[in-house]
Amino acid sequence: MRQPSLTSTASYQALQSHAKDAQQWQMRDLFAQDPQRFERLSSEAAGLFLDYSKNRLDGRTLALLANLARERGVEKLRDAMFNGDKINLTEHRAVLHTALRAPKDKQITVDGQDITADVHSVLARIRTFSDAVRNGQWLGHTGKEITDIVNIGIGGSDLGPKMVCLALRQFAHPRLSMHFVSNVDGHDMDAALSRVNPETTLFIIASKTFTTAETMMNANTARQWFLKNASEAALAKHFVAVSTNVEAIKKFGIDPDNMFPFWDWVGGRYSVWSAIGLPVALCAGYGYFADFLAGAHALDEHFRTAPIEENLPMILALVGFWNREFLGCPSVSIAPYHQDLNRFPAYLQQLEMESNGKRVTRAGDTIADYETCPVIWGDVGTNGQHAYFQLLHQGTDVTPMDFIAALRPAHEFQNHHAALLANCFAQSEAFMKGKTADEVRADLAGQDPAEIERLVPHKTFPGNRPSNTILMEYLTPATLGALIALYEHKTFVQGALWDVNSFDQWGVELGKVLAKKIEAELNGEAQPAQHDGSTNGLIARAKAAV
Ligand code: F6P
């Protein structure tokens, strides 16, 4: 269904004219004028606290953004998603990752099928299997306990489970080491296999489609490596699969009893809540996996029911939309001040950029007069401070930041935690306040006046740079679940505002097809095709090096 173009709507135009004023605002002044700004522009739900007061906006901005969300039917689309309507229009699929974390008694049907029952029957199998591996009942083919789990998958079949296993490090089973092989680069597989013993290793082949070239190549290599010292019959104790494709799994030689299914209404980048999360259940235990799902469900309920003005994902999305559309910010930097969240920025890259990195509307019209998804990137604090924060403070682009921190640590080094939080809060303060030329002069007072004037422009910080801060008490399975769900729904809301289909990813196909052709040429299985001069030259150099 074709909506009127975003920029033609009354609420978008109201925002455009409001933005002419807002672009002149200094956040320092906004804080000085309103002592209640922090209380007014912060909100809390599902164990997460969001401070969005350090943005170049005010109550009117938010009211206008909420109007836009209403005019663009964001709440209607949200309800359609939760309801199981086929909102993934190019693949004719429902979008129901929320059903993966819904309680047993919640009735959700897709094409007449009760999917909650299906979800809970797979969860029961995950529980039985993960308990057996963890308590030493599931043994390798020579009777030894499993010590290493190697998850083979890529994209959503890798980034989610890997990020979550790292984030829940403190809950990890002491006997089990987790490994994640995703890259078709043989160095990745080589590094994992060099650390494990085939007699005590469990491989999880994780692929929604079970056709992804990298995963299939890695799975075959792992299988051959394993079969060097074991029989085909031994595979059943060491290889399990997570997929929607039973036929392909059988062909690969995995017993369907060792397959954990999921469904086409789960997008790859939204799949960590499904059996793709099996490494999490193995590593942290089923109980914590269930807490992780419950944390996400709590955020789902908040997203589904809270009014826009108090709704965390709506607010995060609207603020991001404002920064992108009206303040012209081309990227967003994610800064978790928590070492265990060090893969969170990479996870969000796929979530947001694969979802909303689109240039046509849901009706297929080219988007010509507004921007869609910004580049998402980042790394943990305080490391980033000593690398790229220079550009964030004094570069020519304005990059909004999301700071994420836990108020309490899971370690005993209290002084480290105070230092960590101090840095986190100091950075957002510095981005907001900046440092004026007069402040620099005052710092340098007493030095040679000519030298002071020479240094002033270099030492001045423009400030007025936007950031959000998300706080939780501890990083637990539940707060992590809520945090991921927060960003999933933020992504959903922004996709709805930009009128893009957030649930397909056709943009990854062209490179895949061309890579297949070139691979055959490099292996001498096909005559070199006519590529462009650069590609021909690169292929020739690679062939000459063989
Ligand atoms: O190529 C992109 C993609 O389809 C992602 O969306 C997906 O998460 C990844 O590849 C892996 O896909 P699969 O789980 O089917 O192997």
In this structure, are 70 and 110 located in the same domain? no
Average pLDDT of span 4-18: 96
439 class by beta-carbon count within 10 Å (0-12 exposed, 13-18 middle, 19+ buried): middle
Where do the DSSP E strands lie in 262-395? 331-337, 375-378
Cis before residue 142, ω within 30 degrees of 0? Answer: no
Counting the structural domains of the chain, the total is 3
184 Cβ below 6 A of ligand 1:
no
Whether residue 40 lies inside any domain: the answer is no
In this structure, are 275 and 387 located in the same domain? no
Other C-beta atoms closer than 10 Å to the C-beta of 233 total 8
In this structure, are 340 and 405 located in the same domain? yes
In this structure, are 136 and 270 located in the same domain? yes
**Which mutation among 245, 355, 508, 516 tests ligand 1's pocket best, with the greatest number of atoms within 8 A of CB?**
508
Whether residue 265 lies inside any domain: the answer is yes
Residue span of the structural domain in which 248 resides: 97-284
Q: Which atom of ligand 1 is nearest to the CA of 206?
A: 14
- Asked about 179 being catalytic, the answer comes back as no
Q: Which atom of ligand 1 is nearest to the CA of 243?
A: 14
ipTM for the complex? 0.98
Choose the final residue of a domain: 260, 284, 308: 284
In this structure, are 236 and 332 located in the same domain? no
In this structure, are 119 and 261 located in the same domain? yes
- Asked about 354 being catalytic, the answer comes back as yes
**354, 358, 417, 521: which is the annotated catalytic residue?**
354
Whether residue 485 lies inside any domain: the answer is yes
Whether residue 444 lies inside any domain: the answer is no
pLDDT tens across 308-341, in order? 999 999 999 999 999 999 999 999 999 999 999 9
pTM higher than 0.80 = yes
In this structure, are 270 and 209 located in the same domain? yes
CATH of the domain at 312: 3.40.50.10490
Q: What is the mean pLDDT of the chain?
A: 97
Whether residue 446 lies inside any domain: the answer is no
What band does 546 get if pLDDT is binned at 50, 70 and 90?
confident
Choose the final residue of a domain: 266, 284, 302: 284
Nearest Cα to 465, choosing from 426, 425, 428, 431? 431
Whether residue 198 lies inside any domain: the answer is yes
**144, 512, 517, 543: which is the annotated catalytic residue?**
512
What band does 168 get if pLDDT is binned at 50, 70 and 90?
very high
In this structure, are 134 and 264 located in the same domain? yes
Whether residue 280 lies inside any domain: the answer is yes
Distance CA 301, CA 485 (A): 11
Average pLDDT of span 90-105: 97
In this structure, are 175 and 318 located in the same domain? no
- Asked about 386 being catalytic, the answer comes back as yes
Distance CA 267, CA 492 (A): 13
Tokens of 337: 């001040």
Phi, psi of 406 (to 5 degrees): -100, 135
Q: Flag whether pLDDT at 529 surpasses 90.
A: no
Choose the final residue of a domain: 224, 250, 284: 284
400 Cβ below 6 A of ligand 1:
no
Q: Flag whether pLDDT at 1 surpasses 80.
A: no
In this structure, are 153 and 270 located in the same domain? yes
pLDDT tens across 490-511, in order? 999 999 999 999 999 999 999 9
467-472 and 48-51 as β-strands: parallel, antiparallel, unpaired? antiparallel
In this structure, are 365 and 326 located in the same domain? yes
In this structure, are 137 and 263 located in the same domain? yes
pLDDT of the residue at 11: 97
Whether residue 384 lies inside any domain: the answer is yes
